[in-house]
Amino acid sequence: MKIYAFNGKSNLCGEEIRSLREKKRLSQEQLAAKMQVEGVQINQKAVSRIETGDRVVPDYEVLTFARVLGVEVGRLLREQKSE
């Protein structure tokens, strides 16, 4: 059971984080390492859980993901359209 859920997910940004990570040809491990350099203690498993929507993403992590991926925070928080 998820503590927090919106449309079955624990976050809005996971799918966009995955898309941006793949466009930059980063592995989950590499993205986690970049986050660690910025002071956020996160590992590959946490990145995976974020991307699948199984983990809540605190605001400070959203800010850091945006900085590391080179995008505005708003891009990570857009609601994904289901097809």
Name every residue whose Cβ is closer than 8 Å to that of residue 56 and which is 6 or more positions away in sequence.
3, 4, 10, 11
pTM: 0.88
Contacts of the segment 24-32: beta carbons below 8 A, 24+ positions apart = 24/69, 31/68
Q: Are 20 and 69 in contact (CB under 8 A)?
A: yes
80 band by pLDDT with thresholds 50, 70 and 90: low
* Residue pLDDT, tens place only, 8-62: 889 999 999 999 999 999 999 999 999 999 999 999 999 999 999 999 999 999 9
Is residue 83 scored above 50 in pLDDT?
A: no
Three-state DSSP at 55 gives: coil
Give the residue, 17 or 78, on which the prediction is more confident: 17
Give the residue, 52 or 3, on which the prediction is more confident: 52
